[in-house]
């Protein structure tokens, strides 16, 4: 089925240096955007190490048993704060879907569903959600913060300017329930690049001191028929006097600012790394900097150093550090990058000062964005859309090359047997997306393909250059019963590219997970069904309590060994698997291991791969 078409899009890709390049329109947002400015509020993506900190909680409300003594009221309009276990009311056919709050206590939470409960853009809405009196006498002398989980999205604030059409979200603290200290959050964030869930932390120490005995909390909304606000797990919790947190990290290997997990050796460039550091403690921190270390596949330190400048940050302020490391990877295998935040004052909690990234592999031929963090998830279709679906990733190249095949993961659903799939390629020269090529014939999924990464050859090859951006996609017809393709790995601010129903429109599918759609570069011709050297390697659940599952799919790999290593690199457990040819899952007991960070190392004649996990 031949389809030839082109597109000039409308949204710019964050970090892409082709200044005016056209991207597709936004559909869905789970990504972790950097749209915040320093101020009185700390937005914290819900990272595992933050949740596991040993902190004292003085008050909590998860709304699982209802509002309790909290009161919800409407001042104007028809949109109230209400309880939900389904989130926002999305209407079939919407081009933008509001995801359910990924609450850590998902039984029930609060939603203000403005466009579902409101009436029009011009009818102003105002609502409040107010707590009962809270006894905080136990916090006297402590540093404390108001924290809660949220997901917020609003309509295009630049398009609608009718009275009250822009959303405003406020949080407030009172010592007598009548006089309030109030601040606004979520200002100008739109609907893209939002963590889910996002933890909001407000240092209220100076507001409630010196008499901490009684406080009230209030959430307040103003708007008009916009999207909405979801809230859960309101807490008063202690914070440290001195505390730095690495909020996010970046690996940039190319002039498009894209972050890849696998890079062909011929396309490798200097490691350019970055980290966002936020002061989450009570006092100002001075001479804040970043130290880094890079280890090669043999666990040898090949580069280390510090950012060239330091900064001073008050509570809740953040800054981004970038480092040109001067090191280009040149040995095949997995590399480990460690970032550590430092300051003159020191830190009362070092657990969130360091981030370890071991998701980069220098390969012979494979180019990929996905990586094995967490379980793979199926892609059924675009949000609230039916019909054909196309999914893929953006690629740019350092030198001219040829792409000989596309590797794609087929979901392990029996209904997929016999389903036809196809591939398509587009390029962008900095002005518009243009059709480039597609498969002449469909490929029909076989039983042996289920749960595997298969190869779709490009018979004539696709010539690529170092100046254009490329979009390689795989697609299906109709509305499948189950997901045909899968996605995996936390790629943060990036997003999936593809197309919704109808062959004349490319789109952006905002999500943290990348489709398992990879390229084979500069490796000559391949045949259908040929697999990559290491097709699949995943460790789950993560964090784990009693055991972790090591799931892998290898192509006739002899003398395969699984090692468990601690943070020092010491091997604490070894499991010999012998020859592995195909898929295999091994349960590794953690009973005799202390809580902490560990690594699963997969070793065979093809090399070494490492995945990190946390033992609770």
More confident residue, 520 or 48: 520
More confident residue, 257 or 137: 137
Q: How far apart are the first and last CA of the chain?
A: 51
The whole model's pTM is what?
A: 0.69
- Both tokens assigned to 570: 């010491």
Residues in CB range of 570: below 8 A, 6 or more apart: none
**Structural domain includes residue 22:** no
Pairing of strands 389-395, 377-379: unpaired
Confidence check: pLDDT of 243 > 50: yes
Rounded Cα–Cα distance for residues 181 and 107 (Å): 31
Confidence check: pLDDT of 1 > 70: no
**Structural domain includes residue 286:** yes
Closest CA to 443 of 527, 331, 499: 527
Confidence check: pLDDT of 276 > 90: no
Question: Count of H helices and E strands in the chain?
Answer: 3, 42
**Residue 311, SS3?**
strand
Confidence check: pLDDT of 221 > 90: yes
Query: Model confidence over 431-460: pLDDT tens digits?
Result: 877 889 999 899 999 998 898 899 998 888
Query: Model confidence over 469-524: pLDDT tens digits?
Result: 899 999 998 888 899 999 888 765 445 556 654 445 566 665 668 899 999 987 65
**Structural domain includes residue 33:** no
What is the mean pLDDT of the segment spanning 589-615? 81
Rounded Cα–Cα distance for residues 521 and 406 (Å): 9
Confidence check: pLDDT of 271 > 80: yes
pLDDT at 559: 79
Q: Is 93 exposed, middle or buried (0-12, 13-18, 19+ CB in 10 A)?
A: exposed
486: CATH = 2.60.40.10
Domain co-membership, 175 together with 133: yes
The DSSP code sequence of 96-147 is S--PPP--SSTT-EEEEEHHHH---TTS-EEEEEE---EE-GGGTTS-EEEE
Q: How confident is the model at residue 409 (pLDDT cuts 50, 70, 90)?
A: very high
Query: Model confidence over 370-407: pLDDT tens digits?
Result: 988 777 888 877 666 677 888 888 898 988 999 999 99
557: CATH = 2.60.40.1930
pLDDT at 20: 26
Number of domains the chain is built from = 3
596 is in which domain, residue-wise?
534-615
pLDDT at 398: 87
Task: Give the CA radius of gyration of the chain.
Answer: 25
Confidence check: pLDDT of 213 > 70: yes
Q: What is the residue-averaged pLDDT of the chain?
A: 79
Domain co-membership, 385 together with 475: yes
What is the mean pLDDT of the segment spanning 55-69? 94
Domain co-membership, 281 together with 227: no
Q: Is 546 exposed, middle or buried (0-12, 13-18, 19+ CB in 10 A)?
A: exposed
Q: How confident is the model at residue 232 (pLDDT cuts 50, 70, 90)?
A: very high
More confident residue, 531 or 335: 335
Confidence check: pLDDT of 54 > 70: no
**Residue 48, SS3?**
helix
pLDDT at 345: 92
Q: How confident is the model at residue 286 (pLDDT cuts 50, 70, 90)?
A: very high
Please answer whether residues 157 and 188 qualify as being in contact, where contact means their C-beta atoms are separated by less than 8 angstroms: yes
**What length does the chain have?**
616
Closest CA to 426 of 379, 394, 467: 394
Share above pLDDT 70 across residues of the chain, in percent, rounded to a whole number: 78
Q: How confident is the model at residue 22 (pLDDT cuts 50, 70, 90)?
A: very low
Query: Model confidence over 539-554: pLDDT tens digits?
Result: 777 778 888 888 777 7
Peptide linkage before 42 cis (omega within 30 of 0): no
**Residue 267, SS3?**
helix
Domain co-membership, 170 together with 250: no
**Structural domain includes residue 29:** no
Rounded Cα–Cα distance for residues 326 and 308 (Å): 13
Confidence check: pLDDT of 343 > 90: yes
Backbone angles phi and psi of 584, in degrees to 5: -160, 140
Query: Which of 238, 262, 281 is the C-terminal boundary of a domain?
Result: 238
Confidence check: pLDDT of 183 > 60: yes
**Structural domain includes residue 446:** yes
More confident residue, 140 or 219: 219
pLDDT at 581: 73
Domain co-membership, 412 together with 560: no
- Of 2-16, 185-199, 242-256, 586-600, which gets the smallest average pLDDT? 2-16
Query: Which of 493, 526, 559 is the C-terminal boundary of a domain?
Result: 526
- Both tokens assigned to 284: 């100002």
pLDDT at 124: 87
Other beta carbons less than 10 A from residue 266's beta carbon = 13
Domain co-membership, 389 together with 469: yes
pLDDT at 55: 74
How distant, in Å, are the alpha carbons of 114, 115, 121, 168, 386 from that of 127? 10, 14, 16, 11, 36
pLDDT at 96: 64
Domain co-membership, 189 together with 202: yes
- Paired with 264 in beta bridges are 363
- Of 42-56, 196-210, 475-489, 515-529, which gets the smallest average pLDDT? 42-56
Domain co-membership, 11 together with 75: no
pLDDT at 48: 36
48: CATH = 2.60.120.260
Domain co-membership, 122 together with 10: no
Confidence check: pLDDT of 158 > 70: no
Query: Which of 498, 526, 554 is the C-terminal boundary of a domain?
Result: 526
Domain co-membership, 541 together with 521: no
Confidence check: pLDDT of 50 > 70: no
pLDDT at 109: 97
Domain co-membership, 586 together with 437: no
Domain co-membership, 517 together with 449: yes
**Structural domain includes residue 387:** yes
């Amino acid at each position: 089925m031949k389809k030839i078409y082109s597109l000039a899009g409308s949204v710019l890709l964050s970090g892409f240096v082709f200044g005016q390049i056209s991207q597709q329109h936004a559909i869905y947002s789970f990504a972790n955007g950097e749209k915040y400015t320093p101020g009185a509020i700390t937005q914290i993506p819900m990272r595992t190490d933050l949740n596991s900190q040993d902190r004292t909680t003085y008050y909590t409300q998860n709304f699982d048993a209802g509002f309790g003594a909290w009161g919800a009221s409407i001042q104007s309009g028809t949109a109230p704060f209400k309880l939900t276990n389904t989130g926002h009311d999305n209407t079939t056919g919407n081009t933008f879907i509001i995801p359910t709050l990924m609450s850590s206590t998902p039984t029930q939470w609060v939603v203000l569903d403005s466009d579902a409960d409101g009436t029009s853009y011009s009818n102003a809405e105002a609502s409040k959600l107010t707590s009962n009196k809270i006894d905080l006498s136990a916090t006297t002398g402590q540093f404390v913060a108001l924290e809660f989980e949220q997901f917020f999205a609003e309509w295009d604030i630049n398009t609608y300017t009718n009275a009250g059409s822009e959303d405003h979200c406020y949080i407030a603290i009172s010592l007598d329930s009548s006089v309030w200290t109030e601040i606004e959050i979520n200002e100008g964030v739109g609907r893209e690049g939002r963590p889910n869930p996002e933890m909001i932390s407000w240092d209220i120490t100076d507001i409630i001191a010196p008499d901490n005995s009684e406080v009230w909390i209030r959430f307040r909304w103003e708007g008009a028929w916009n999207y909405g606000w979801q809230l859960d797990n309101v807490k008063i919790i202690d914070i440290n006097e001195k505390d730095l947190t690495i909020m996010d990290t970046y690996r940039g290997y190319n002039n498009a600012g894209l972050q890849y997990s696998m890079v062909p050796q011929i396309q490798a460039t200097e490691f350019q790394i970055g980290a966002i550091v936020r002061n989450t403690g009570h006092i100002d921190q001075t001479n804040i900097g970043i130290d880094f270390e890079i280890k090669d596949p043999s666990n040898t330190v090949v580069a280390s150093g510090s950012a060239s400048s330091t900064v001073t940050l008050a509570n809740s302020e953040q800054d981004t550090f970038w480092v040109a490391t001067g090191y280009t990877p040149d040995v095949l295998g997995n590399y480990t990058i460690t970032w550590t935040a430092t300051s003159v004052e020191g830190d009362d909690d070092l657990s969130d000062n360091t981030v370890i990234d071991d998701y980069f592999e220098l390969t012979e031929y494979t180019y990929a964005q996905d990586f094995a963090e967490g379980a793979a998830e199926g892609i059924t279709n675009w949000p609230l859309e039916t019909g054909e679906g196309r999914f893929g990733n953006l690629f740019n190249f350092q030198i001219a090359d040829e792409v000989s095949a596309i590797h794609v993961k087929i979901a392990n659903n029996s209904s997929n047997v016999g389903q036809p799939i196809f591939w398509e390629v587009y390029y962008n020269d900095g002005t518009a997306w243009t059709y480039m090529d597609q498969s002449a014939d469909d490929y029909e999924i076989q039983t042996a393909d289920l749960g595997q990464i298969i190869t779709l050859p490009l018979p004539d090859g696709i010539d690529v250059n170092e100046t254009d951006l490329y979009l390689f996609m795989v697609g299906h017809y109709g509305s499948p019963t189950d997901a045909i393709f899968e996605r995996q790995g936390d790629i943060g601010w990036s997003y999936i590219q593809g197309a919704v129903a109808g062959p004349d429109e490319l789109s952006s599918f905002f999500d943290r997970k990348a489709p398992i759609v990879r390229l084979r570069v500069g490796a000559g011709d391949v045949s259908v069904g040929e697999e990559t050297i290491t097709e699949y390697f995943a460790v789950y659940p993560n964090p784990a309590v009693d055991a972790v599952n090591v799931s892998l799919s290898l192509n006739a790999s002899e003398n395969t060994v699984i090692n468990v290593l601690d943070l020092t690199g010491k091997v604490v457990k070894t499991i010999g698997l012998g020859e592995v040819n195909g898929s295999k899952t091994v349960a590794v007991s953690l009973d005799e291991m202390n809580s902490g960070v560990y690594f699963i190392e997969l070793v065979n004649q093809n090399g070494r791969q490492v995945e990190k996990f946390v033992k609770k």
